Amino acid sequence: MLESFAVQALVQLLCRITKYAWFDDGASVNIRTIVVDATKFLEASIRHCAIGLTILNDLTMEMNYKNRNRSLTQQRKVSVSFRDICLGPIPTTTVTTTRHVNVFETALSMLHQLATRQTLSTLSSMPPQEAAALHEGLLEQSLRLLQACLNYDFIGTNPDESMEDVVTLHVPATWQRVIVTGTTLRLLFNLYKGCATGRIAMMIDAAAPPITATPGEIAAQPTGEFPVSLRRAAQTLDVLCSLMSVRRSIFPGDTERRRYLGHILRGVVDILREGQGLKDQGCFHEFSKLLARIKNNYQLVELVRTEGYSEWVKLVAVFTIGACQPGGGVGGGESHSNHLHYILSLWSKLVASVPFAKLEGVTSGPSGGGSAGLASMLMGGAGSAGAGAGNNGLGLNKAEVDELLQECVPQILASYVKGRFDSLLGEDAAETREEMEDLERMEDQLEHVPLLARYQYASVTASIMSLFDPLHVQYKEARSALRANPAAAGSLKKNLEIMESQLAWLVTVIGAIVGGATQGGGSYLAHHTMSSLSGDGIGEEGFDADLSQRVLRLMAGIDDDMNSLTRALASSSGGGRVTNQQLAAHPVVHLLRPSTCLEMSVLYFMSQFRKSYISEVSGMPAIPATTQQKASEALLASSALANAGGTGLVSGGGMGGGMNDEGGRTSTPIAELNISSKSRIFLSMFERMGLGTHQNVVSVMLGKVANTLRWRGDNEDLVKGSLDVLHDLIYSYASGRLLLITSTMQKNCR
């Protein structure tokens, strides 16, 4: 028998020739019977069955593949013909002797045989190792064939596989019978359980245990042995992920669609109860995609009206909190940070949907014996979810849905922030630090943080400040100790690097939250703005001020420290000007300058803060024309002086003193100013920050940019990031005008 690679090459050649000759005159009838001929292999020996599945799999993918040497019209003509003949045969009134085979149903039939162990009797006569390899090969090819059918481009849309948010599978109407009834879902969930745990239900199309089932009732269900294969388990979850996205119109009505969603939630809850296979990286990844795909294709109102919604939400919350822990929590032993954006997207979309969910007309379900609380589930593990469940989400009203999310979301975000904070102390600290320096890798996660944070902003702010404040105090003490005793740089510098990494993570999170004020966070949750006020009447801008104040004080403290060191060096060298090369070569300066990770996070924060608050759209008072004209004239005079021998922006010193600039806090109370309510809120925010007006804050940001260019000019990433922030400040209409009247800009252009 030929080797597997040779068989694969011959099958690919056969499928390519079949595609090109699909409409050839005189050969079309024989060519189009290839699917019927391939199914004959499935009725022969086990090895012939594997070849038959390979032919069907490669043929389906080849017909869906866009060849470069063929026009779009040629491609669609063949693709549509194959779809109608082999994937979803359309009944015809013409008399024909050609027998058609539905490839999708063939794949399901083969999976059913494998799941019910009908092939094990044939494999029992083979050596165990060979039999196991053949069984897994058949299972792999069957799942690949099923996935190829589901991913087929039925209507010529050529979907982008990288887009996870909007995915709809326009499957043929002839598949309705095997999809709508839920038998395919039940088969795949049971198959996953068998591949992940080695035990599979005796009735392969039996539904998952009820949401309210006790551990004893679950254990009493009859099961049989099944070969364990975590790779096939992950592949099964991938197929299930595609089945989440079948088009809405294939369901006869809302009742059938709700029943279909019920099968999905029951299957997911069954996996979460025992964490089946979730210690495997591949299974964890596919399961995370599966959770995200559920919300992408079902509205919140549909989820709420499905039995088991409450327990599903709480179990997913426990899963998320565990996954955010160092080492992956539920996943155990491996980092799952690359997959967290799927789970975070699920929660952000749930939160974003609350204001628009029309649940007022839904009657509440029975209230007796309510569902287990999230706290008890976290203490008792996911396995305690089913015990004592009462309402189970059937008929929750809007207030109850909101209350349930308010219980889960703050704990999830706190766990996410604390998990990475703690991971910077572990074995993966170097990898985490490297990822934080490349913020583009984290953008998929950070884009969901603002929505989650602003849902319960008061508690989230308190959680972040409880981490930031003591760490900032320790950081200042460590810097002072290192400056006083540079000889003990070994242990002190190592501790300083750890604290800087943790501060960098918190600054990044704060930047993402503050930047989310204009990225949809506030508009999505407008109805929560007043309800989330704290006892002293602080709104979202107040919490933004509390968080931003800490970052700005951190920035200013570092800059003041470095500037005082620079002045000390200048005085020790006779009062002359200290060059950037001398600064970089000085051992104490090298020890005390912040790490790249912290500098990048500060630049990210400044970029996000500028987008949200340094603009007239956010309420910044307009700059009077006379003030702007005077500032322009002063700046032109300063530029002329600089050209005659003055100093430039980077070489100028004393940039860290922006908080004490002459344009300090206004002496007129804000309440007495004749300005709009939006501007009043804007000015109140900066008053709460306690760092002066917005002009002072921009001066601090300018000083930070200049000092970064001065002290870290040897780092290309930091130079680029600093220039990007400066570019955005200058070329933005509102901030560009503001720069003209800041004393820092005028002082450093003289």
Q: How far is CA 131 from CA 2, 43, 126, in A?
A: 18, 18, 6
Instruction: Show the tokens assigned to 288.
Output: 């995370």
What DSSP letter does each residue of 595-649 carry, written as one string?
A: PHHHHHHHHHHHHHHHHHHSSTTTTPPPPPHHHHHHHHHHHHHHHHHHHTT---T
| Strand, coil or helix: 393 | coil
On the CB side of 262, CA atoms within 13 Å amount to 20
Amino acid 703: pLDDT: 85
Give the pLDDT confidence of 443-475 residue by residue, as tens digits.
888 999 999 999 989 999 999 999 999 999 999
Long-range contacts of residues 402-405, Cβ cutoff 8 Å, at least 24 apart: 402/354, 404/310, 404/313, 404/314, 405/313, 405/350, 405/351, 405/354, 405/455
DSSP codes, 479-500? HHHHHH-GGGHHHHHHHHHHHH
**φ, ψ for residue 97, nearest 5 deg:** -100, 0
Give the residue among 564, 571, 424 at the shortest CA–CA distance from 501.
Answer: 424
Q: Residue 514: what pLDDT?
A: 92
Give, in order, the Cα–Cα distances in Å from 101 to each of 205, 250, 285. Answer: 23, 21, 34
Distances 426 to 71, 423, 429, 498 between C-alpha atoms, Å: 55, 5, 6, 10
Query: What whole-number distance in Å separates Cα of residue 121 and Cα of residue 104?
Result: 25
Torsion of CA 194, 198, 199, 203, to 10 degrees: 40
Q: Which amino acid is at 473?
A: V
CB 684 within 8 A of CB 541: yes
In sequence order, which ranges of 424-456 are alpha helices (DSSP H)? Answer: 429-437, 439-446, 449-455
Q: Which of 682, 655, 677 is nearest to 548 (CA)?
A: 682
- pLDDT, residue 66, reads 87
Low-confidence ranges of the chain (pLDDT < 70): 1, 25-29, 89-99, 119-121, 124, 158-166, 202, 205-220, 327-337, 359-396, 488, 518-538, 573-585, 616, 622-676, 744, 746-750
Q: What's at 645, amino acid-wise?
A: G
Please say whether the beta carbons of 466 and 417 come within 8 A.
no
Instruction: Answer for the pair 322, 364: CB distance below 8 angstroms, yes or no.
Output: no
Return the pLDDT at 490: 72
- Cβ 317 vs Cβ 269: under 8 Å: no
Give dist(CA 648, CA 745) in Å, integer: 10
- 256 touches 302 (CB < 8 A): no
What pLDDT, in 10s, does the model give residues 35-78? Answer: 888 998 988 888 889 999 999 999 999 999 888 888 888 889 99
pLDDT given for residue 694 in this prediction:
81
pLDDT of residue 719: 92
